[in-house]
C-alpha cells in the first residue's frame, strides 16, 4: 500500500465521520494507531486538512434564506469589494470569477427582509456597476465535500 493511498483513505474516512477516533480509523484502514496519528498530523501540517467543523443546518437555527449575489465591479475596486463581502459573516462563499459578472457571493439570511436590507446596503457602493441576486428556492446539495481518488497499487 502506497503512502499517498493511505492518506486518501484517511481523508475519505474522516469525511464519513470527522470525529472518528484514531483507534477506529486505525482499525478501519488496518494500520496502527500511531500510523494514523502520524499521517493525520502530516495532513494537517501540509494544509490538506485545514481543520474540522460540525456541519450545521442553518435552516434549523433560523437562517431560512440563501441568496446568490452576482456583481459587476469597477476593476480597481475589486479587492475592496471582496474584502467587504468576506467580512460579512453571513457570506458563505465569495468568488472572483470570469464571465458577465466579476464577483459571485453566496449568503445566508434569517428572512427576505433581512436579506433585502443587507444587499441594498452592499449595493450603495459606487464601485458596483451592476448586480443580480438569485434567491435559492431549494438547496439540492450544499457544501458537499467529495471523497478523494484511491490509486491502485
Partner DNA sequence: TACACCTGATGACGTACGAAAATCTCGATG
Partner DNA sequence: CATCGAGATTTTCGTACGTCATCAGGTGTA
Q: Which residues lie near DNA (CB under 7 A)?
A: 3-4, 6, 21-24, 30-35, 37-39
Q: Considering the rule CB under 8 A, would residue 55 count as an interface residue with its own copies?
A: yes
Query: Measured between alpha carbons, how far is 63 from 81 in angstroms, rounded to an integer?
Result: 24
**Considering the complex, what minimum distance in angstroms separates the CB of residue 76 from its own copies?**
15
Q: Considering the rule CB under 8 A, would residue 95 count as an interface residue with its own copies?
A: yes
Query: Measured between alpha carbons, how far is 134 from 71 in angstroms, rounded to an integer?
Result: 12
Q: Considering the rule CB under 8 A, would residue 61 count as an interface residue with its own copies?
A: yes
CB-based contact 97:104 (threshold 8 Å): yes
**Considering the complex, what minimum distance in angstroms separates the CB of residue 44 from DNA?**
10
Most distant CA pair in the chain: distance in Å? 59
**Considering the complex, what minimum distance in angstroms separates the CB of residue 3 from DNA?**
6
Q: Considering the rule CB under 8 A, would residue 120 count as an interface residue with its own copies?
A: no
Query: Measured between alpha carbons, how far is 60 from 57 in angstroms, rounded to an integer?
Result: 5
CA 114 to chain centre: 22
Tell me the β-bridge partners of 105: 69, 94
Q: Considering the rule CB under 8 A, would residue 153 count as an interface residue with its own copies?
A: no
> In a 10 Å sphere around its CB, with 0-12 CB exposed, 13-18 middle and 19+ buried, how is residue 128 labelled?
middle
**Contact partner at residue 6 from DNA, its own copies, none, CB < 5 to 8 Å by partner kind:** DNA
**Contact partner at residue 47 from its own copies, DNA, none, CB < 5 to 8 Å by partner kind:** its own copies
CB closer to DNA, 8 vs 31 = 31
Q: Considering the rule CB under 8 A, would residue 68 count as an interface residue with its own copies?
A: yes
Amino acid at each position: 500500500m502506497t503512502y499517498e493511498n493511505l492518506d486518501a483513505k484517511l481523508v475519505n474516512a474522516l469525511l464519513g465521520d470527522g470525529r472518528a477516533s484514531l483507534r477506529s480509523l486505525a482499525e478501519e484502514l488496518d494500520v496502527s494507531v500511531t500510523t494514523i496519528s502520524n499521517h493525520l498530523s502530516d495532513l494537517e501540517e501540509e494544509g490538506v486538512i485545514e481543520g474540522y467543523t460540525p456541519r450545521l443546518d442553518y435552516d434549523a437555527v433560523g437562517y431560512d434564506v440563501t441568496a446568490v449575489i452576482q456583481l459587476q465591479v469597477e476593476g480597481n475596486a475589486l479587492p475592496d469589494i471582496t474584502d467587504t463581502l468576506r467580512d460579512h459573516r453571513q457570506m458563505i462563499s465569495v468568488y472572483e470569477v470570469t464571465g458577465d459578472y466579476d464577483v459571485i457571493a453566496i449568503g445566508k439570511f434569517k428572512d427576505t427582509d433581512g436579506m433585502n436590507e443587507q444587499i441594498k446596503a452592499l449595493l450603495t457602493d459606487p464601485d458596483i456597476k451592476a448586480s443580480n441576486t438569485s434567491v435559492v428556492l431549494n438547496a439540492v446539495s450544499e457544501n458537499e465535500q467529495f471523497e478523494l481518488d484511491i490509486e491502485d497499487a
